[in-house]
A and B are shown apart, each in its own frame.
Chain A
Amino acid sequence: MGPLKRTREVIFYFCRNGKCEEVKAFEWDTVASALLAAGYKIFRYSDKYCEPRSVFCAIGLCNSCIMVVDGQPNVRTCITPVRDGMNVEVPQ
């Protein structure tokens, strides 16, 4: 695959129960890859049984990794690129 080409750092926020933490990512990361790399492994809890959910397919097909991004619900984080200052929330 060769060396990494785009290594600019991007900083966004992971928010859970109203508290936000800074997450450092690389420019080409998706929200999902950046969260997993930073150790934020649980993305949300299922509606009915409140079970933890994370990445399953990583290509936008299964909807397991959906979160609230900049106020918009049901965003597939595995196909959403990171952007400076973006807010990524665990849905309530």
Chain B
Amino acid sequence: MEIEYDVVVVGSGPAGLSATAEVLRRGFRRVLVVDENPLPGGQLFKQIHKFFGSREHYAGMRGFRIGERLLNEVEKLGGTISLRTSVIGTSYEGEIKTLWLSNPERGVSKVRVRKLIVATGAKENVIAFPGWTLPGVMGAGAVQTLVNIYRVLPGRRVLMAGSGNVGLIVSYQLLQAGAELVAIVEILPRIGGWAVHAAKILRMGVPIMLSTTIREVRGREWVEKAVVWRVGRDGKPVAGSEVEFDVDLVCLAVGLSPNVELTRMLGCEHLHLRALGGWTPLHDEKMETSLKGVYVCGDVAGVEEASVAIEEGKLAGIGASCELLSREELNTLVEESWRRLDELRSGPFGEPRKEAKKLILKEFKQRVRGRGIGG
């Protein structure tokens, strides 16, 4: 069966939902959202902490409330989300893009679409050490999903690797859920996340061991012991500095990388940027990639905060609706959105991302517009 859509959005996290609301608000009616998860909202519904930032970006609200609000908005505007649906194939023929969608109940269907918004988010990074594949070594986000969504505590005594905001927040939530946290280890000589999150952990008496990393994890079929050791100024581990912990869960909170499988499969051009988590699709001011009619937003376009994802989703939605807007309207909306993005990208965490985004726009102009494609 072939279906025609004006817009297909891949991913129903903060970026995807925000983009969907925008294209519906601008007047598109044949809009489909697909998500391979059984629940919509991406990672928002596991965020039980309050968000920071400005009021127009939901500061003070808990993540799952923001998720509820975005979902309600999309529903009110008449949007439909096809859950448990994966994109398993694509074909780019300029104006029309073909997607093959797979769903356990409906099987494979072919969909033809004019505008594609990719909002596939990010995946957790891994560090390798002896025993890293042993069950009981999990992503910190995975543990957050299990605890906050499914109310399952996968371990009782936990070692956390990484003191960025994810590591700190998940550590605190593990304590709230009744687990014991033996330590947080951080390979850098300083805490990575915000002081307010770190202070909560330190007040609970959990040590944050700086310049320390995991040496190995041992266990028969599940984690039983974790050995950590110090890292010297030369970046090399210090023999004899080992500390051993009895644990049944090791959480890795060592960053995220954009999920670029779909943009790669489509043939979008990418750039490797450390500040944004790795390979990132090039895009212009309206979030359009090197392929005309293919837009990106949220973590797939560079790993940042959920508030940035919401704003970028809106911007991609505006970009995808460009034909429904006057040139003036479009310029004003895009400018306003960038003003808000610049605000969100201020401060020590935001500045490197702001610079990396500038590089993306610059590279887009040189590589894509320069040869007369996509612009």
Contacts and interface: CB of A to CB of B under 8 A. Distances in A.
Contacts of A1: 48, 64, 148
Nearest to B122: A61
A55 B35 CA distance: 20
Contact of A59 (B37, B48, B151, B152): B37
Contacts, number: 78
A60 B37 contact: yes
Given A42-B221, A54-B135, A59 B146 contact: no
Given A57-B141, A57-B142, A59-B145, A79 B152 contact: no
Interface in B231-251: none
Interface string A8-52: 000000000000000000001110010011000111001000011
Interface in B59-73: 64
Contacts of B64: 1
Nearest to A2: B64
B313 interface: no
A38 B137 CA distance: 19
A79 B38 contact: yes
B141 A59 contact: yes
Contacts of A43: 135
B322 interface: no
B36 A33 contact: no
Contacts of B135: 41-43, 52-55
Interface string B44-65: 0000100000000000000010
A81 interface: yes
A80 interface: yes
A40 B145 CA distance: 18
Contacts of B142: 55-59, 78
B133 interface: yes
Contacts of A60: 36-37
A53 B139 contact: no
Interface residues of B, number: 31
Interface string B133-176: 11111110111011011111010000000000000000000000
Q: Is the interface of B mostly helix, strand, loop or mixed?
A: loop
Contacts of A37: 150, 152
B367 to A, nearest CB: 29
B259 interface: yes
Nearest to A81: B38
Contacts of B141: 57-59
B224 interface: no
A62 B123 contact: yes
Nearest to A58: B142
Contact of B150 (A30, A52, A53): A30
B124 interface: yes
Nearest to B154: A36
B365 interface: no
A1 B139 CA distance: 21
Interface of B: 36-38, 43, 48, 64, 84, 104, 123-124, 133-139, 141-143, 145-146, 148-152, 154, 221-222, 259
What 5 A-B pairs come out closest when comparing CB atoms? Answer: A54-B135, A33-B150, A58-B142, A58-B145, A37-B152
